[in-house]
Structure 1
Amino acid sequence: MKAMILAAGKGERMRPLTLHTPKPLLPVAGKPLIEYHLERLAALGVREVVINHAWLGEQIEQHLGGGARFGLVIAYSPEGEPLETGGGIFRALALLGDAPFLLINGDVWCEESLENLPQQITGLAHLLLVDNPAHNGKGDFHLQADGCVRQAQAGDSTLTYSGIAVLHPQLFAGCKDGAFALAPLLRAAMDRGLVTGQRATGHWVDVGTPERLADIEQRVLAACPGR
């Protein structure tokens, strides 16, 4: 299975840290955030990774290179102007091939094992869902007992999309090059019963603010005191 890391955002909520450094290269205990993702993917057995980028993207390419030091082959999908999640993935499909691929938002921290994610999916998407964090208390979707994911209705329990999924390229059938979000495609596929999911129990954080980045760093340092 190939993987894609979304790394094209400007990281505006991270300013001033991201004024001169792209968010994926912000350090966590001395190591850029994106390197944690790459190391996990390599340990999972992934060998080919696609990374999209826009804001200060040349720094990402210069730092990571071709991926050999991670045991990976990295291909890049430069955007110039950000294409949002859906548009960025659509632009990169030629590099990802025709099979389902693993998608990771570059600005999340997730300690859930990815080995339990399916490599083959019956529908168009399989989402890793987490308990609703304080900043997204209403949640995103409802996970049914049969493993299907649908849009939440009144009275439903909800979970939050973690930013990690297995997607089938056919999810983007009919799309055109340009900026568009991923969420409407997922909701349309849910209405057709073509989205499944699972609930994660490992620690997860949307690393969207300097405060959350600092919290993750303290967590890493506490786990590895000599780091």
Structure 2
Amino acid sequence: MIFAAGFGTRMGALTRECPKPLIEVAGKPLFDHALALVRDVAPRRIVANTHYRADRMEAHLAARGVTASPEPGEILDTGGGLKAALPLLGTGPVFTLNPDVIWRGPNPLRLLREAWDPARMDALLLGVPPDRARGRRGGGDFDIDDGGRARRGSGLIYGGAQILRTEGLADIADRVFSLNLLWDRMIGAQRLYLLEYPGMWCDVGRPEGIAMAEALLEEPNV
């Protein structure tokens, strides 16, 4: 599941007519950078939600063989968007990926797949140390204990990539909600885990992030 429905308001004029996932970095839309990572792990299905400038986004998805999960009316946020897309995704754990970041190093989805242990985990998130992150304002999101379990804190930034069991979504009655709600329940059950990313990462959430990401892509792989 690639999250592609947001308004991208922090990008200012760049998203007045263009959906944020179609903003180009190094000559390629952000969405296509994310899609290359996804195709590398060969999932059975690839779905992206759409809302803002949905016609443009859905045309882009169709040309790449990606299934659209439209969100007409109100935007559903990450949790609501994933829950609405479940009929398209099928059963079982799913990868989710934010397309508005650039990774420099090993494929984050491959790392998650290699470390995934469903006997212990309901979700495995990828975290980035602040000193290996660019374009980020503010502190981290999570800390981890010696066993890799996550708790709220400031040591690692959530990088926007995870593997997630989806069964818990059925217990949330809200139509619009963030995945943070599900994560907090998993923290309470000690089943939310975090894996540290060994490479570099750039948030392309603001216009200045484009140049930062392009510079990062020019650097040697970590």
Q: Which residue does the alignment assign to 1:131? A: 129
SS at match of 1:24: helix
- Once the two structures are TM-superposed, the CA of residue 77 in structure 1 deviates from its matched residue by 0.7
Query: Could you tell me how far apart the structure 2 residues matched to 1:82 and 1:176 are?
Result: 16
Counting only pairs closer than 5 Å after superposition, residues 27-46 of structure 1 correspond to structure 2 as: 27-46=24-43
Query: Could you tell me how far apart the structure 2 residues matched to 1:108 and 1:193 are?
Result: 28
Query: Could you tell me how far apart the structure 2 residues matched to 1:75 and 1:7 are?
Result: 12
Contact 1:125-1:171 within 8 A present in 2 as well: no
Once the two structures are superposed, residues 35-89 of structure 1 have per-residue CA deviations (whole angstroms, 9 ceiling, x without a partner) of 1111121122224211001000211111231524xxxxx2111112211111111
SS at match of 2:95: strand
Query: Could you tell me how far apart the structure 1 residues matched to 2:216 and 2:129 are?
Result: 19
Consecutive unaligned residues of structure 2, counting only runs of 5 or more, are none
Q: 1:7 aligns with which of 4, 8, 12?
A: 4
Q: Which residue does the alignment assign to 2:70? A: 78
Counting only pairs closer than 5 Å after superposition, residues 1-227 of structure 1 correspond to structure 2 as: 4-65=1-62, 67-68=64-65, 74-80=66-72, 81-111=74-104, 112-113=106-107, 114-118=109-113, 121-122=118-119, 123-132=121-130, 133=133, 135-137=137-139, 139-152=140-153, 158-176=155-173, 178-220=175-217, 222=218
SS at match of 1:179: coil
Sequence identity, in percent?
36
Contact 2:33-2:99 within 8 A present in 1 as well: no
Query: Could you tell me how far apart the structure 1 residues matched to 2:12 and 2:169 are?
Result: 32
Query: Could you tell me how far apart the structure 2 residues matched to 1:38 and 1:176 are?
Result: 31
SS at match of 1:136: coil
Query: Could you tell me how far apart the structure 2 residues matched to 1:136 and 1:102 are?
Result: 26
Alpha-carbon RMSD across the aligned residues, in angstroms, is: 1.9
